[in-house]
């Protein structure tokens, strides 16, 4: 039930006949303080047309407006403040929520449309670092929100499994590698060798050329080099899948860079056929008529292809394979120019669907103000952080609830949830300074706080011995009305989160909802045997439903006990 829509309809039918519903709806505000009203209509924009001062217009509007939904309408300066009848309106809101269940907040504007998400994309033979967490959890949450809006989502893990770095790694392995150590700890040992290569190359630059030659052998299909590359890749994917399992994330495709090796020539031929390729210092480029975007490099002077060539081939393959309506590239903001180039080149080739390819940039995790770098060893491993978070959750459980059933599962849900929520509550475009202390804080505006609030609702329902179906006949206290108003926002929040590609909107909403409910819990004796008990329990159930569904959209679980 959209209160803003109700007010819009009343304003249009009774006062603002010449304005469109869209214009009126956009003007309606929510007062900062609830005692001022549930909604407010500012009259500044009407002053020029009506040739009156905004406070006078507000007074006239307030005197005209009436509806069975409203309990109070008053002019306060240039604003018309509206309070809704909490009992009757609240009954409609909660009844709608209860009747829809898990479908509450679901939209249909994505029906029969497919969203492809390019996300996570770690490099093989390197450990999964905190640097890849953002793409992974933002992408997964966006896929889940998309499905809530009716879309079919396709999650693609575009694994970094090709490039000169593998030539360098193979050189390092052949020079200093111990096969037994690699078998015992593949990722850790390969990472050590990778760092050693770059350290040694600073003293002996000829190693760089060796690395390039080794990669050329890989490109040419050398049997020994290819076998090593495949071994490194297989071991990496095993390790990655353990982390994805911990995060509760699955993918529809693991087609990485190497998958497109035999698909790039078609792109080159298409560009040549349309006379879009130019030679620049021996390299093949596509010029872009935008002074802020440099030419897109398609082939180096030695004939080698590049990231752009591969991404062009990948985009064409994905459109053919999935017929996507939208393709989202959940990749750090430092790749902005690259994606602009790829999109422009596809548009030059006449592919109208390129218009629906969108780069979803995000800020980075920083360590002491600097970007994390595997090459320089300035990296924090996600697996270590997840383990520490789970261990901390387990310690908290032993301390506060030692007899908790399924304690290990709850610790995993809470620990992993703390990491996911800490990431997603931050505005997507902001950088995040890595702080294990902040990440693993289990109080305040955190994932465990929201999860605990959900567990509290379940505890109340268990104590009450309630059984479904829930019935809500209305509550007339101010504390319950604040909770109800918060719950009715959920469908609007889901839509807003999708349209802004911002899971943080949902994360912040869940904190607000948890705080609102906990305030209600602190003021109200919920399990009190009186006529309103069924309605109070129905409200508790409604809160639980929204918290559970909202956390699910972030990729988090909801333990029923903590």
Q: Tell me the Ramachandran region of residue 101: left when phi exceeds 0, alpha when psi lies from -120 to 50, beta otherwise.
A: left
Burial of 469 (0-12, 13-18, 19+ CB in 10 A): exposed
Tens of pLDDT, residue by residue over 178-234, are 999 988 888 889 989 998 999 999 999 999 999 999 998 998 999 999 999 999 999
Burial of 24 (0-12, 13-18, 19+ CB in 10 A): buried
> Could you tell me the two tokens for 277?
């390729």
pLDDT score at 378: 64
Max Cα distance, the chain (Å):
86
pLDDT score at 375: 54
Instruction: Judge whether 325 and 356 are in contact, CB under 8 Å.
Output: yes
**383-409 b/e (C-beta count within 10 Å ≥ 16 → b):** eebbeebbebbbebbeeeeeebeebee
H or E element: which one contains 39?
Answer: strand 39-42
Taking residues 52-77, what's their average pLDDT?
96
**Tokens 């699910």 — which residue?**
552
Strand pairing report for 370-371 and 365-367: antiparallel
> Any residues with CB less than 8 A from the CB of 529 and at least 6 apart, and which?
none
Other C-beta atoms within 10 Å of 233: how many?
A: 18
Short-list 461, 350, 473, CA closest to 94: 473
Say which DSSP state 149 is in.
T
CATH 3.30.1360.70 maps onto the chain at 3-84
pLDDT at 410 over 90: yes
pLDDT score at 373: 63
Instruction: State what percent of residues in the chain have pLDDT above 90.
Output: 83
CATH 3.40.50.620 maps onto the chain at 114-265+302-367
Taking residues 157-172, what's their average pLDDT?
94
Taking residues 25-53, what's their average pLDDT?
93
209 HSE (CA, 13 A, CB side): 3
> Any residues with CB less than 8 A from the CB of 14 and at least 6 apart, and which?
64, 65, 66
Long-range contact pairs involving 371-377 (C-beta distance under 8 Å, separation at least 24): 371/131, 372/129, 372/130, 372/131, 372/434, 374/123, 374/126, 374/127, 374/129, 374/131, 374/191, 374/194, 374/195, 375/194, 375/195, 375/198, 376/198, 377/195
Strand pairing report for 296-299 and 283-286: antiparallel
Quote the CA–CA distance of 52 and 36 in Å, as a whole number: 24
Lowest mean pLDDT, pick from 8-22, 376-390, 493-507: 376-390
Distances in Å between the alpha carbon of 190 and those of 132, 195, 340, 531?
A: 18, 9, 34, 67
pLDDT score at 374: 55
pLDDT at 143 over 80: yes
Q: Torsions phi, psi of 110, nearest 5?
A: -100, 5
pLDDT score at 320: 98
pLDDT score at 380: 84
Distance from the Cα of residue 96 to its chain's centroid: 27
Quote the CA–CA distance of 220 and 204 in Å, as a whole number: 26
CATH topology of domain 114-265+302-367: Rossmann fold (3.40.50)
Tens of pLDDT, residue by residue over 457-471, are 999 999 998 777 899
Domain 3-84 has CATH 3.40.50.720: no
Peptide bond into 469 cis (omega under 30): yes
CATH 1.10.730.10 maps onto the chain at 382-554
pLDDT score at 362: 95
Tens of pLDDT, residue by residue over 350-378, are 999 999 999 999 998 887 778 776 555 56
pLDDT score at 419: 94
Which alpha helices (H) appear in 220-335, and where do they start and end?
223-247, 264-273, 307-322
CATH topology of domain 382-554: Isoleucyl-tRNA Synthetase; Domain 1 (1.10.730)
> Could you tell me the two tokens for 128?
């999964």
Quote the CA–CA distance of 525 and 285 in Å, as a whole number: 71
pLDDT score at 77: 96
Which residues are paired to 305 by β-bridges?
Answer: 299
pLDDT score at 19: 94
Taking residues 242-263, what's their average pLDDT?
96
Alpha-carbon torsion 183, 184, 188, 194, what sign? Answer: negative
Return mean pLDDT, the chain.
93
Tens of pLDDT, residue by residue over 272-297, are 999 999 999 899 999 998 878 999 99
pLDDT score at 381: 86
Short-list 139, 136, 73, 145, CA closest to 107: 145
DSSP reduced 3-state for 329: strand
Quote the CA–CA distance of 394 and 404 in Å, as a whole number: 11
Model pTM? 0.93
DSSP reduced 3-state for 153: strand
H or E element: which one contains 285?
Answer: strand 283-286
């Amino acid at each position: 039930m959209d209160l803003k829509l109700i007010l819009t309809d009343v304003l249009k039918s009774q006062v603002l006949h010449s304005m469109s519903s869209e214009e009126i709806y956009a003007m309606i505000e929510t007062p900062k303080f609830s005692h001022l009203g549930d909604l407010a209509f500012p009259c500044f924009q009407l002053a020029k047309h009506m040739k009156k001062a905004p406070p006078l217009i507000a007074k006239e509007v307030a005197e005209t407006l009436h509806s069975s939904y409203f309990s109070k309408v008053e002019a306060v300066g240039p604003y018309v403040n509206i309070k809704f009848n909490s009992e009757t309106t609240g009954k409609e809101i909660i009844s709608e929520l209860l009747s829809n269940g898990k479908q509450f907040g679901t939209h249909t504007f994505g029906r029969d449309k497919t969203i492809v998400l390019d996300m996570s994309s770690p490099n093989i033979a390197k450990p999964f670092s905190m640097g890849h967490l953002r793409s992974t959890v933002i992408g997964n949450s966006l896929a889940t929100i998309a499905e809530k809006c009716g879309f079919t989502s396709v999650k693609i893990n575009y694994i970094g499994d090709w490039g000169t770095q593998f030539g360098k790694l193979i050189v390092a392995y052949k020079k200093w590698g111990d096969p037994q150590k690699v078998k015992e700890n593949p990722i850790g040992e390969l990472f050590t060798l990778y760092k050693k290569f770059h350290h040694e190359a600073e003293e002996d630059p000829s190693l760089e050329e060796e690395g390039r030659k080794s990669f050329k052998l890989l490109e040419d299909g050398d049997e020994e080099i290819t076998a090593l590359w495949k071994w490194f890749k297989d071991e990496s994917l095993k390790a990655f899948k353990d982390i994805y399992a911990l995060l509760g994330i699955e993918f529809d495709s693991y087609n990485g860079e190497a998958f497109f090796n035999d698909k790039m020539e078609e792109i080159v031929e298409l560009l040549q056929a349309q006379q879009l390729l130019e030679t620049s210092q021996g390299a093949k480029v596509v010029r872009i008529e935008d002074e802020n975007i440099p030419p897109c490099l398609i082939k180096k002077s030695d004939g080698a292809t590049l990231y752009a060539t591969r991404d062009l081939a990948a985009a064409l393959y994905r459109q053919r394979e999935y017929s996507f309506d939208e393709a989202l590239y959940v990749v750090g903001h430092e790749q902005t120019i690259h994606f602009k180039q790829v999109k422009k080149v596809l548009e030059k080739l006449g592919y109208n669907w390129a218009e629906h390819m969108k780069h979803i940039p995000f800020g980075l995790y920083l360590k002491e103000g600097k970007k994390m770098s595997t090459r320089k060893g300035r990296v924090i491993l996600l697996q270590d952080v997840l383990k520490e978070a789970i261990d901390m959750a387990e310690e908290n459980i032993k301390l506060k609830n030692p007899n908790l059933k399924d304690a290990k599962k709850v610790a995993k849900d809470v620990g992993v949830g703390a990491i996911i929520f800490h990431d997603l509550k931050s505005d997507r475009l902001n950088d995040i300074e890595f702080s294990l202390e902040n990440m693993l804080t289990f109080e305040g505006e955190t994932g465990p706080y929201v999860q605990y609030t959900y567990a509290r609702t379940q505890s109340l329902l268990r104590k009450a011995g309630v059984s479904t179906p829930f019935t809500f006949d209305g509550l007339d206290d101010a504390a319950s009305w604040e909770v109800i108003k918060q719950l009715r926002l959920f469908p609007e929040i889901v839509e807003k989160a999708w349209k802004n590609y911002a899971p943080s909107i949902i994360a912040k909403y869940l904190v607000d909802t948890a705080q609102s409910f906990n305030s209600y819990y602190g003021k109200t004796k919920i399990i009190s045997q009186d006529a309103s008990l069924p309605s109070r329990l129905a409200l508790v159930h409604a809160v639980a439903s929204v918290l559970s569904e909202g956390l699910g959209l972030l990729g988090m679980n909801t333990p029923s006990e903590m």
